[in-house]
A = this chain, B = another copy of it.
Amino acid sequence: MCQLLGMNCNVPTDICFSFTGFQARGGLTDHHRDGWGIAFFEGRGVRVFLDPKPSVDSPVAELVRQYPIHSLNVIAHIRKATQGEVRLENTHPFQRELWGRYWIFAHNGNLKDFAPALSGRFRPVGCTDSELAFCHILDTLAQRFPDAPPTPAALFEVLAGLAGAIAAHGEFNFLLSNGERLFAHCATRLTYIVRQAPFADAHLNDQDVTVDFSELTTPADRVAVIATTPLTDNERWEAIPPGTLISFSQGAPEETAATGASAGAAEKVTERR
């Protein structure tokens, strides 16, 4: 299984601290050695750094850890390949454009017997179930709302339906963002924390590194960090219930929906085979 990391903020924030712990999972404290990637939204633009090498050995990861890019929405992924060779085109996160905005997607899990009909507007370049799911999501959105994006509530409703339907094919934890909101779907395992005033010390699980956020923040700052498992050992992370989609906006959960997807559902699919 892969590792997901996301961040959604109300002011542009760098992810250097969280990335330091996350990077260690790519071959040092965990065995996810099949490449990694990270996407930073800045305004309407997005920068995606990809490397098919393990993140712990990657000079690109070293740059990301040391170069503070300030962003409202970040999605990162460390890969343990289940479907698709270890190649650049199979490295998450994936990027496409819809309605004049970039969309970024990363997936943790494994989908089986998943062959959605695609219109051809969005086609996978690599051969992962993950990129196929992303293309199916965007294809569905483009067909439902061909001319312009829907309201945030309507978008969230369609995404919740898609998350549940796709999760019937297997484990489907994902992070998705259009630069405005960050959508986090838990099928089996995903946690988050909202950091806001009063800020305190945080100490990483995966490296012996502590940061005092009170020295780096203003009282109005709010940052949500989403990760497969907690990144720190002295803060309280919320486990997202399996079968839940959360929309994060301005550094906090905005909407929550049950999608019907869960570890149980995934196991049932497996058992049917």
Q: Mark A72-94, 1 if CB is under 8 A from B, else 0.
A: 00000000000000011111000
Beta-carbon contact of B100 and A97 below 8 Å: no
Task: Give residues 89-111 of A contacting B (CB, 8 Å).
Answer: 89-91, 95-97, 99-102
Q: Which residues of B contact A60 (CB under 8 A)?
A: 63, 67
Q: Which residues of B contact A88 (CB under 8 A)?
A: 42-47
Separation of A89 and B44 alpha carbons in the complex (Å): 6
* A interface residue count range (under 10 / 10 to 19 / 20 to 34 / 35 or more): 35 or more
Q: Which residues of B contact A63 (CB under 8 A)?
A: 59-60, 63
Task: Give residues 34-52 of A contacting B (CB, 8 Å).
Answer: 42-52
Contact of A45 among B44, B46, B59, B126 (CB under 8 A): B126
Separation of A101 and B126 alpha carbons in the complex (Å): 9
Looking at the assembled complex, report how far the CB atom of A59 sits from the nearest CB atom of chain B, in whole angstroms.
5
Separation of A147 and B119 alpha carbons in the complex (Å): 10
Verify if A241 is at the interface (C-beta below 8 Å from B): no
Task: Give residues 168-197 of A contacting B (CB, 8 Å).
Answer: none
Verify if A253 is at the interface (C-beta below 8 Å from B): no
Interface SS of A by simple majority: mixed
Separation of A211 and B196 alpha carbons in the complex (Å): 53
Instruction: Given A59-B63, A59-B67, verify A125-B89 contact (CB < 8 Å).
Output: no
Beta-carbon contact of B95 and A123 below 8 Å: no
Instruction: Given A60-B63, A97-B96, A121-B121, verify A126-B44 contact (CB < 8 Å).
Output: yes
Q: Which residues of B contact A46 (CB under 8 A)?
A: 88-89
Chain B residue at smallest Cβ distance from A101: B125
Verify if A124 is at the interface (C-beta below 8 Å from B): yes
Instruction: Given A45-B89, A50-B47, verify A97-B122 contact (CB < 8 Å).
Output: yes
Taking beta carbons and an 8 Å cutoff, which residues of A are in contact with B? 42-52, 59-60, 63, 66-67, 87-91, 95-97, 99-102, 120-126, 146-147
Q: Which 6 A-B pairs have the closest CB atoms?
A: A45-B88, A45-B89, A100-B123, A44-B89, A42-B88, A63-B63
